[in-house]
């Protein structure tokens, strides 16, 4: 199959281009499209063969459920039942946006929800995604990458992974948030974070009074809590996170990287500590976690194409820990305090 690539300006969405993409979706094809978090790989939730193709193209285990993407927040209430009283407040505050809500499903899906009685739903805050969903209807859409790898934040990343395996890629430029949405379970009395993201437990608690923070589940205990059963976000390079004070982390990384074909994910605060001979990417200012998350995946991909070892400084975030979560997952849990070197 030849992948069609169409450029779409998010500030002035060409509805004719989206009509072409929507007709591909409605005839059972797959379209990759930009959202504010990462690029998604969309299929109509009503075409079972298309949803199966998502799993096949991504090599994704079929017991890992997908997020249903909607373009109208009120659809959430049509697609779910027994919603908790606080849910309308969350929808009012964060939809559209980088928050996925897991609730009891009002219907069964032949494929996509992994046989669960819950459904994960999100309304993306991106004009291209919203226009596509408006025209094609609700879509299942995981991140548009090979399963277990790094999520794509540009159309070039999508093509790198899925060229000639999807019918169409809508190129709407780089994703502003840069990491996947927060996933929150809203089936209980208090919302509970299953996957940390740009919307934090504190953000949710400030709207509904309380929110259970993300707790890394014990592997294989509950496969559906944010996909922890599977290796995620991982580069091919051998990666390690060095925690502790940033200056100590930088010094430890310089020693660890010595003599290796290595690259470093550093921050504005530590860039100058590294010798010019080293391959070092500045993720941004530690006080601007939203900048760091916007740069994270493209930087990981860039290093992964060049080096055998990646060292990352730990990022302590007051704001929910989403970047550190992704760094640790990319390193397959390999983290060490700087003081130990
Ligand atoms: O930002 C995002 O969420 C992106 C864009 C494209 O919207 N999508 C995305 O999808 O990251 P994916 O498939 O890569 O991640 C979906 C996560 C998985 O960890 C999955 O296990 C979880 O959501 N999930 C889906 N349905 C669930 C359910 N019913 N209960 C618990 N977790 C669920
Ligand atoms: Mg994914």
Any domain includes 230: no
Does some domain include residue 32?
yes
Number of separate domains in the chain: 2
Q: Is there an atom of ligand 1 within 6 Å of 146 CB? A: no
Q: Is residue 221 part of a domain?
A: no
Distance 60 CA to ligand 1 centre (A): 12
The per-residue pLDDT for 340 is 78
| Residue of 18, 182, 157 lying closest to 102 (CA atoms) | 182
pLDDT at 333: 86
* Residue 54 exposure: Cα atoms within 13 Å on the Cβ side: 32
Backbone angles phi, psi at 156, to 5 degrees: -65, -40
Residue 247 domain boundaries: 238-340
pLDDT at 222: 45
- CB-CB contact of 42 with 31 (8 Å): yes
Helix (H, G, I), strand (E, B), or coil: what is residue 240? Answer: strand
In the 8-state DSSP scheme, what is residue 142? -
* Residue 263 backbone phi and psi in degrees, to 5: -130, 160
Ligand with minimal distance to 187 CA:
1
Nearest-ligand number for the alpha carbon of 195: 1
Does 329 fall in a domain? yes
The answer to whether residue 210 is domain-embedded is no
* CATH assignment at residue 102: 3.90.870.10
pLDDT in tens, the chain (341 residues): 899 999 999 999 999 999 999 999 999 999 999 999 999 999 999 999 999 999 999 999 999 999 999 999 999 999 999 999 999 999 999 999 999 999 999 999 999 999 999 999 999 999 999 999 999 999 999 999 999 999 999 999 999 999 999 999 999 999 999 999 999 999 999 999 999 999 999 999 999 999 999 987 765 444 444 444 555 678 999 999 999 999 999 999 999 999 999 999 999 999 999 999 999 999 999 999 899 999 999 999 999 999 999 999 999 876 678 999 999 999 988 999 998 77
For residue 223, which atom of ligand 1 is closest to its CA? 21
C-alpha–C-alpha distance, residues 262 and 242, integer Å: 14
What is the reported pTM?
0.95
Measuring from atom 21 of ligand 1, which residue has the nearest CA? Answer: 227
Helices vs strands, H then E, count in the chain: 10, 15
- What distance, in Å, lies between the first and last C-alpha atoms of the chain? 51
- In the reported structure, the alpha carbon of residue 267 is separated from the centroid of ligand 2 by a whole-number distance in angstroms of 25
Q: How far is it, in rounded angstroms, from Cα 326 to Cα 51?
A: 26
* CA dist., res. 265 & res. 336, Å (int): 15
Residues 59 and 131 in one domain: yes
Question: How many angstroms separate the Cα of 101 from the Cα of each of 39, 48, 76, 104, 256?
Answer: 19, 23, 9, 10, 41
Among 178, 196, 228, identify where a domain stops.
178
pLDDT value at residue 231: 59
Residue 183 lies in a domain: no
């Amino acid at each position: 199959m030849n992948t069609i690539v169409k450029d779409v300006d998010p500030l002035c969405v060409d509805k004719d281009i989206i009509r072409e993409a929507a007709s591909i979706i409605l005839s059972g094809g797959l379209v990759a499209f930009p959202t504010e978090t990462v690029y998604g790989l969309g299929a109509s939730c009503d075409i079972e063969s298309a949803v199966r193709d998502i799993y096949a193209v991504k090599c994704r285990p079929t017991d890992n459920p997908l997020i249903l993407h909607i373009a109208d927040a009120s659809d959430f209430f049509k697609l779910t039942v027994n919603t908790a009283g606080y849910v309308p407040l969350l929808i009012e505050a964060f939809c559209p946006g980088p928050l996925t809500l897991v609730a009891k499903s009002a219907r069964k899906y032949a494929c996509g929800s992994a046989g669960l009685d819950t459904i994960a739903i999100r309304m993306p805050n991106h004009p291209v995604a919203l226009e596509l969903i408006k025209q094609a209807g609700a879509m299942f859409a995981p991140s548009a990458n090979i399963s277990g790898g790094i999520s794509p934040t540009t159309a070039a990343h999508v093509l790198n992974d899925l060229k000639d395996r999807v019918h169409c890629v809508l190129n709407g430029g780089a994703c502003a948030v840069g990491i996947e949405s927060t996933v929150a379970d809203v089936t209980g009395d208090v919302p509970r974070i299953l996957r940390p993201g740009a919307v934090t437990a504190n953000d949710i608690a400030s709207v509904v009074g309380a929110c259970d923070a993300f707790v890394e589940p014990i592997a294989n205990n509950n496969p559906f809590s944010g996909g922890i059963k599977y290796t995620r976000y991982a580069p091919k390079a051998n990666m390690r996170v060095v925690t502790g004070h940033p200056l100590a982390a930088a010094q430890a990384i310089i020693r660890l990287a010595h003599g290796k074909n290595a690259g470093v994910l550093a921050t504005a605060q530590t860039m100058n500590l590294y010798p010019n001979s080293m391959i070092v990417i500045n993720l941004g200012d530690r006080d601007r976690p939203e900048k760091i998350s916007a740069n994270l995946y493209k930087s990981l991909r860039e290093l992964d194409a060049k080096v055998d070892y990646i060292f990352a400084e730990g990022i302590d975030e007051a704001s929910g820990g989403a970047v550190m979560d992704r760094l640790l997952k990319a390193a397959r849990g390999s983290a060490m305090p700087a003081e130990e070197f």
